[in-house]
A and B are shown apart, each in its own frame.
Chain A
Amino acid sequence: MAKDSNAPGASPDLSVQLGPLRLKNPVMAASGTFGYGEEYGAFADVEKLGAIVVKGISLEPRAGNPPPRLVETPAGLINAIGLENVGLDHFISGKLPYLHGKRVPVIVNIFGNRLEDYAELASRLDRVPGIAALEINISCPNVKQGGMLFGADPAMAASVVKAVRAATTLPLITKLTPNVTRIGDIAQAVEDAGTDIISCINTVAAMAVDIFSRRPKLANIVGGLSGPAIRPIALRCTYEVAAAVRCPVIGVGGIFDALDAMEFFLVGASAVQVGTANFVRPSATLEIIAGIERFLQVEGISRLQDYIGTLDTRCVFPFAEESCALGD
């Protein structure tokens, strides 16, 4: 790894260039875990975030799934919210103004039941000022139609991205599901279809049951697992996606502190999103930003860019010299 001879203590450069999207730092709040920003206003300064990804938005408001919608599992949380959201119109008139008052890039996570829904969302958001990028959610496990169905098939995933690409000039992030056999294939398909950036992963399909009442713990029966429990899965997915595509990748899944985030940079993520950790520590994203800075300082790396994707997978034989001697 290239160590930098810069004066120790100098502030490392955390800025990242994600295709057309430039962020002052690589840490975003993940969709569905930070509301529309206002909910955490009292606990964390959103202006310090690299970006905020808002709760998934559909054309029409959605009531979501019946409760119980949550269950905690070892180091994880299974949710089946069912993409409850206020709908596009109320998002624009009622939720966006708060974020416009803040100096933070706003990324809108969009979700539709049909291809045309995605296209219409994109074309209408294209005309709304103050949006930094769209994140296409083709990976939600908690809805009957659309959602993960689109994200599980390379051809369908590509068709969604093409439809959105045709409808907007905004930077496009496509968010992938881990609930597929070969995530690299999906990544290649959405890159070819024109996405600028890929984020991965959404939640891992999961369930929990009550052995006494013999009932599922979620009314939806199954849900999506998030939190530290899925971090190794998310890391593997990020690694495979980064290897499969040229576009920048955003790592998501179980990131709770700065060292977790560094793992994702190492395997090739150019940025990260933090989800479930916000519930536990509302200032988790800010602590992670500070921690990344400290890590780079201690390691003597002046730019985060220089660390990204530097995983060395060569096999190392620890007894090189002796083995030569033995071979003589």
Chain B
Amino acid sequence: MVKIQEQAWIMEHEKLARQTYRLMLQSPEIAAAARAGQFAMVRLGDGLDPLLRRPFSFHRIFPKQGIIEILYRIVGRGTGKLSRIQVGDSLDVMGPLGNAFRLPSCDSSLVVLVAGGIGIAPFFALMQDLVGRPDASLHLFYGARSGDELLPPQLFDGLRVTVHRSTDDGSLGYCGRVTDLFQEFMGSALPRPDAVYSCGPLAMQYHVARWALNQGVDAQLSLESLMACGVGACLGCALPAIGADDPATDHYLHVCKDGPIFSPGSIQWQKIQMHRALPQTFLYN
């Protein structure tokens, strides 16, 4: 698999929702090799703060134009710094890294996507791939804490996707968690899907994983972990996995090289330790 380190020029940088930005990068070699679901390690400036690169999924990929896009949400120092980068600046990008989404084998399939918050990011690249399948039926369940965190509806134009929105505070669409909305639908309005994809907070993905395991449906989850290298060298991005032979002994998968796309059955969910994000009020006042 080709992996490239490239100096990518910022062509556009736009705020799309609360704390949420889209970066368009001129990165011809990475764009030619990248596939939906894979990610890039981006260096944020050339100083020591932040020190490490940060991982971001490919939001959209335009191989012919040599363009990749990143959709990101400000959660800390690195993404805060990223939000101040200007058109015409450049970023040092390594990629494409990790595995990619597998596309459904049959053209006329029912495909369901579940996205929580910034988890929507890699699904645009996936929908770009699925748009060439006129017989496929595409449903996206897309939730956030509040309506102003959701991407504007016109961004979904032309993707032939039915979007079901939810917000925790009820300010837009279904009031409640996106996994509840998804499970209500799957229980009634929609038949058994041929493919389920999920991306978002771990707690959300856990519900999708449990549902998929119970239903015996194939699901592909895009999971996260803190990363230092992104290439399998530091072994820092471990997730507890179901051991091949002995379930009692510890066994880990690595998000950067075994993932970021995992099947629900490969993760030992009970052993994951959540670490809470900083309350927004303490960031960037």
Contacts and interface: CB of A to CB of B under 8 A. Distances in A.
B240 A67 contact: yes
Contact of A72 (B52, B237, B271, B276): B52
Main DSSP-derived SS at the B contact region: loop
A190 B156 CA distance: 66
Contacts of B279: 212
Contacts, number: 120
Interface in A268-289: 276, 278-283
B171 to A, nearest CB: 25
Contacts of B231: 35, 39-40, 43, 282
Nearest to A275: B234
B48 interface: yes
Contacts of A55: 235
Contacts of A219: 273
Contacts of A35: 231-234
A288 to B, nearest CB: 16
Interface in B31-72: 43, 48-53
Interface string A28-67: 0000111100011011000000000001000000011011
B155 interface: no
Contacts of B52: 72, 77, 279-280
B236 A79 contact: yes
A94 B251 CA distance: 19
Given A63-B250, A67-B273, A71-B226, A84 B235 contact: yes
B233 A42 contact: no
B149 to A, nearest CB: 20
A215 B231 CA distance: 28
Given A75-B51, A282-B94, A42 B4 contact: yes
Nearest to B249: A63
Nearest to A62: B250
Interface in B212-236: 225-236
A231 to B, nearest CB: 11
A90 to B, nearest CB: 14
B146 interface: no
A239 B51 CA distance: 26
Contacts of A72: 50-52
B43 A42 contact: no
A66 B250 contact: yes
A219 B271 CA distance: 11
Nearest to B54: A72
B106 interface: no
Contacts of B234: 32-33, 35, 70, 79, 81, 279
A105 interface: no
B30 to A, nearest CB: 12
A282 B252 contact: no
Interface residues of B, number: 41
A129 interface: no
Nearest to B238: A67
A34 B233 contact: yes
A74 B113 CA distance: 38
Given A70-B226, A278-B229, A228 B48 contact: yes
Nearest to B275: A68
Most buried by A among B51, B229, B232: B51
A151 interface: no
Nearest to B254: A84
Interface residues of A, number: 41
Contacts of B239: 67
A79 B279 CA distance: 24
A228 to B, nearest CB: 6
A328 interface: no
Contacts of B49: 74-75
B19 interface: no
A71 B225 CA distance: 11
Contact of A279 (B3, B228, B250, B275): B228
Nearest to A85: B235
B2 A70 contact: no
Nearest to B229: A279
B51 A278 contact: no
A63 B253 CA distance: 10
Contacts of B232: 35, 39
Contacts of B189: none
A284 to B, nearest CB: 12
Nearest to A36: B233
Contact of A68 (B92, B229, B273, B278): B273
B263 interface: no
A227 interface: yes
Interface in B102-134: none
A217 B278 contact: no
B233 A81 contact: no
Given A63-B251, A70-B234, A43 B51 contact: no
A54 to B, nearest CB: 10
Interface of A: 32-35, 39-40, 42-43, 55, 63-64, 66-72, 74-77, 79, 81, 84, 210, 212-213, 215, 217, 219, 227-228, 256, 276, 278-283
Interface of B: 2-5, 43, 48-53, 92, 94, 225-240, 249-252, 271-273, 275-276, 278-279, 282
Shortest beta-carbon contacts, A-B, top 4: A35-B233, A42-B3, A70-B236, A63-B250
Given A79-B234, A276-B51, A279-B233, 11 more contacts: A33-B234, A39-B233, A43-B3, A63-B250, A67-B252, A70-B228, A70-B236, A210-B276, A212-B279, A279-B228, A281-B43
